[in-house]
C-alpha cells in the first residue's frame, strides 16, 4: 500500500481540505504507483498563504547568519539522503540515475551556496552632501514569495528558487508540479528538520488551476516566480502583474547549436547529442536545432545518427536515457515527429518507441535532416529527444537561422575560429551563450535567464542576481 504524503503548512504535515489525492506512477512502468500526494484546492492554498504572511515579520527579523545556518543544515540533511532522493527522483520523473544524482547534488550545492550568501546580505554606504548625515542603503525581503515549479528538474528548480528566497528573509508558498512533487516535498522535510520556523515555508500539492492560481492572486503574496511553458508563464505573468506583484518567469526554449565550417564534425555531433538527448530532451535548455555548415553537414549527420543509435534506452536506474515523464509528453513528441515528416523533413534516426518495451513512456533519440527553419519542428519546443539538422551555406546564414525563432534561452557554437566564437557571443540572441559546449548545464553562481519568449526579461535566477528578485532596496538618511 502506498503511503499518502501530506502538505506542509505552518510547520505541520496536514491533509488537504478536498480529501482527494494524486497518484504518481513510474514513467518506466506506468502500472506501478510510486507515491501518492494531496490533490489540494483553493482553500488549502489560502491557508498556506496566510501562514506565510503571519510568519513573515519574524523571519525577516531573523539575522542573516541564522537563516544561513538553517539552510546549511538542510543542505547537509539532503546530502545524507542523497541516494534515497536520487532513487525517488528516478521513480517519479524517470531520468537516468547519473542525471538524477547530479540534480540532487545541485540542490545540495545550492543550499550551501545561499547559506553563505545569507550572511553577506546588507547594503552600501554612500557619501552624503551633508556633514551631519550618514547615507546608506539596506536590502530587505519582499515579503511572501509564491514559487511555481515544473516536473523536469523537480528538486533543482525548487531549490534554486527556495534557497535565495529564504536567505533573503522571505517566507514562501511552493506549488510543485503534480507529475513529480516528491523531491520538493523532501526539501520541506529537510528544512523542517533543520529548524525552519513554522510558516516560513509552506508546500501545497495539487492542480495549478486551483493551487497556483490562488497563490498568484492572493492578497498576501508579494512576488511570484514561475518556471514552465511559455504559454502558461505568460498567463501567470499577466495575472500577477495585474495584481501589482513582482514577477519572474523562466519559460521555453528552441535552442540552437551552430556548427561552423572549422568544427570537427564528430566532436560537434557529440556536443549536440549530449545537449539534445540528455535528460530525454526534457530540458528548457536542450539543443533541438543543429545549424550546420554545408561543408561539414554530411559528416556531422553521420556522426549524430551514430550517437543517437548508440544510446541505451530503458528504466532510469538501468539505462543511459530514461522515459518521458508521462503519456501526454510522449504523445506530444510522437506528434511532432509525424508533423516533421508531413512537412518534408527526412527521418534519419529514431522516430518511434523501442520494440523491447510494451509499457513505459519510452521514445527513441530522433534526428531529422533536410529541415528548413520555417518548419514547425524548427520553430516550436518539442520537449523530447528530437534534433532538427538545418544546413547553411556560411556563418552569417547560420547566425541568422540560429536567431530566427521567438525563443532565446540557450545557444552554443562549435568552432575552431576565435573570430566566429566572438561574433557568436556578440550576436546570439540568447540569455546563455556557450562556445564549444552543449546548450545544457548551468553553473549555480552565475545568472540564468532568457531573451524573447524564454523569459519575462525581468529578474534573473541563480548567483547574486538570484537574490535581487527576493529583495527590495531601502535608502536611509541618518542625520545624527
Query: Known catalytic residues?
Result: 284
Task: Look up residue 140 and give its three cell numbers.
Answer: 530587505
Residue 431's nearest CA partner among 452, 401, 402, 400 is 452
Cα–Cα dist 298/37, whole Å: 50
Q: What is the DSSP letter of 208?
A: I
Residues 223 and 470: beta-carbon distance below 8 Å: yes
Residues 433 and 222: beta-carbon distance below 8 Å: no
The secondary structure of 274-295, three-state, reads HHHHHHHHCCCCCEEEEEEECC
Compute how many other C-beta atoms are within 10 angstroms of the C-beta atom of residue 419. Answer: 9
Residues 423 and 221: beta-carbon distance below 8 Å: no
| Cα–Cα distance list, 68 to 106, 164, 202, 282 (Å) | 17, 10, 19, 32
Q: How far is CA 462 from the centre of its chain?
A: 11
Residues 469 and 246: beta-carbon distance below 8 Å: yes
Residue 442's nearest CA partner among 416, 471, 475, 465 is 465
Q: What is the dihedral of CA 426, 430, 432, 434, to 10 degrees?
A: -50
Beta-carbon contacts of 468 under 8 Å, excluding residues fewer than 6 positions away, are 459, 460
Phi then psi for residue 238, to 5 deg, are: -65, -45
The residue whose grid cell reads 562556445 is: 435
Q: What is the DSSP letter of 211?
A: I
Residue 106's nearest CA partner among 125, 84, 82, 73 is 82
**DSSP E strand boundaries for 142-252:** 144-148, 171-175, 201-203, 223-227, 246-250
Amino acid at each position: 500500500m502506498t503511503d499518502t504524503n501530506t502538505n506542509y503548512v505552518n510547520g505541520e504535515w496536514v491533509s488537504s481540505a478536498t480529501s482527494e489525492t494524486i497518484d504518481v506512477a513510474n514513467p518506466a512502468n506506468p502500472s506501478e504507483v510510486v507515491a501518492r500526494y494531496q490533490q489540494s484546492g483553493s482553500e488549502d492554498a489560502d491557508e498556506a498563504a496566510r501562514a506565510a504572511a503571519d510568519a513573515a515579520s519574524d523571519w525577516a527579523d531573523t539575522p542573516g547568519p541564522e537563516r544561513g545556518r538553517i539552510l546549511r543544515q538542510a543542505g547537509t540533511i539532503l546530502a545524507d539522503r542523497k541516494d534515497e532522493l536520487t532513487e525517488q527522483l528516478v521513480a517519479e520523473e524517470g531520468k537516468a540515475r547519473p542525471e538524477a544524482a547530479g540534480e540532487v547534488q545541485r540542490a545540495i550545492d545550492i543550499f550551501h551556496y545561499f547559506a553563505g550568501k545569507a550572511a553577506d546580505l546588507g547594503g552600501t554606504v554612500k557619501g552624503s552632501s551633508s556633514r551631519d548625515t550618514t547615507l546608506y542603503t539596506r536590502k530587505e525581503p519582499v515579503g511572501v514569495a509564491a514559487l511555481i515549479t515544473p516536473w523536469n528538474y523537480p528538486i533543482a528548480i525548487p531549490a534554486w528558487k527556495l534557497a535565495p528566497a529564504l536567505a533573503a528573509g522571505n517566507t514562501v508558498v511552493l506549488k510543485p508540479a503534480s507529475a513529480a512533487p516528491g523531491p520538493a516535498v523532501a526539501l520541506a522535510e529537510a528544512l523542517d528538520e533543520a529548524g525552519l520556523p513554522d510558516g516560513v515555508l509552506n508546500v501545497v500539492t495539487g492542480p495549478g488551476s486551483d493551487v497556483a492560481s490562488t497563490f498568484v492572486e492572493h492578497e498576501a503574496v508579494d512576488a511570484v516566480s514561475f518556471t514552465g511553458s511559455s504559454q502558461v508563464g505568460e498567463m501567470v505573468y499577466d495575472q500577477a502583474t495585474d495584481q501589482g506583484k513582482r514577477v519572474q518567469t523562466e519559460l521555453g526554449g528552441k535552442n540552437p547549436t551552430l556548427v561552423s565550417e572549422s568544427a570537427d564534425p564528430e566532436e560537434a555531433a557529440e556536443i549536440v547529442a549530449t545537449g539534445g538527448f540528455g535528460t530525454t530532451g526534457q530540458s528548457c535548455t536542450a539543443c533541438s536545432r543543429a545549424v550546420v555548415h554545408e561543408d561539414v553537414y554530411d559528416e556531422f549527420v553521420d556522426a549524430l545518427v551514430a550517437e543517437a543509435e548508440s544510446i541505451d534506452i530503458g528504466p532510469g536506474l538501468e539505462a543511459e536515457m530514461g522515459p518521458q515523464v508521462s503519456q501526454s509528453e510522449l504523445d506530444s513528441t510522437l506528434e511532432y515527429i509525424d508533423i516533421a515528416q508531413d512537412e518534408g523533413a527526412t527521418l534519419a534516426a529514431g522516430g518511434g518507441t523501442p520494440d523491447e518495451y510494451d509499457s513505459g513512456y519510452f521514445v527513441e533519440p530522433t534526428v531529422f535532416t533536410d529541415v528548413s527553419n520555417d518548419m514547425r519542428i524548427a520553430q516550436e519546443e518539442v520537449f523530447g529527444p528530437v534534433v532538427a539538422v538545418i544546413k547553411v551555406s556560411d556563418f552569417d546564414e547560420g547566425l541568422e537561422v540560429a536567431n530566427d525563432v521567438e525563443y532565446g534561452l540557450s545557444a552554443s557554437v562549435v568552432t575552431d575560429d576565435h573570430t566566429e566564437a566572438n561574433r557568436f557571443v556578440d550576436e546570439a540572441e540568447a540569455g546563455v551563450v556557450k562556445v564549444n559546449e552543449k546548450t545544457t548545464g548551468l553553473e549555480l553562481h552565475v545568472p540564468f535567464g532568457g531573451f524573447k519568449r524564454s523569459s519575462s526579461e525581468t529578474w534573473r535566477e541563480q548567483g547574486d542576481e538570484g537574490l535581487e528578485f527576493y529583495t527590495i532596496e531601502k535608502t536611509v538618511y541618518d542625520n545624527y
